[in-house]
Amino acid sequence: MNKTELEQICAGQGFALGEDALDGLAAYLELLGKWNKVMNLVGPHALPEILRELILDSFHLARFLEDLPLPEAPESWDFGAGAGLPGVPLRLVWQAGAYTMVEAREKRALFLQNALAACSAHDPAHYLSRTSVYRGRAENFISERLMQKKPGDLLISRAFMPWEKLLPFAHDGLSADGRVIFLTLTPAPVLPSELAANWKLEAERAYASPAGKQRYFWALKKTSCL
């Protein structure tokens, strides 16, 4: 896909990307297409389908994050980063703070490092320099950050593990006002009793994918209430 096609598809969904973001997106898509032929990183194989069905989620997520009362420079973690979705496209349009993509599978971690290198060629603002890959298990990553006294402010999960398990798994690694963002196909829990202790639903947003499928973002925030 060329930049003109990318721009037209994104604009058709209400996203006006700058030249640097379009260049980075084109580089990422080209690399994803090549690696996907041998690694099956994502289900769709046609680049326009990957863009519409997977990457546009990242741009919706950027808008959702912009509406949350996050720290000015949040420490963000992306567990089970896989093919870099939502992380790589997200960082092309949302540059706040530092962002770490955590991936235990070696080949996928290698792909992520290559993807960041490809996008960084179109990164005069150097925001991708604040985006990194941790090759290892999420529990080891949390332990290292706790030892360094560097808690996370924001954890993003796209099918890393069920939300009921992820909340206690990540709780101690996040700051006192830490949040977990879930990308899901179902609405958020409605009743406080449905959530794990010390968590509350802060925000939720629903939107329709180009294929008409309903998708959701949840923001669950830590609370001191027992």
pLDDT digits (tens, 9 = 90+) for 138-159: 999 999 999 999 999 999 999 8
pLDDT score recorded for residue 197: 77
Question: What is the model's pTM?
Answer: 0.93
pLDDT score recorded for residue 126: 67
- Residue 25, φ and ψ in degrees, nearest 5: -65, -40
pLDDT score recorded for residue 226: 43
pLDDT score recorded for residue 184: 95
pLDDT score recorded for residue 78: 98
Please, what CATH class does the domain formed by 57-222 belong to?
A: alpha beta
pLDDT tens across 42-56, in order? 887 788 889 998 999
DSSP-derived secondary structure letter, 180: E
- The answer to whether the CB of 186 falls within 8 A of the CB of 108 is no
pLDDT score recorded for residue 205: 96
Query: Quick one: tokens of 44?
Result: 């769709």
List the beta strands (DSSP E) in the chain: 75-79, 98-103, 131-135, 152-157, 174-184, 199-208, 214-222
Domain map (residue ranges) of the chain = 57-222
> Which residue numbers in the chain have pLDDT < 70?
122-126, 190-193, 224-226
pLDDT score recorded for residue 45: 76
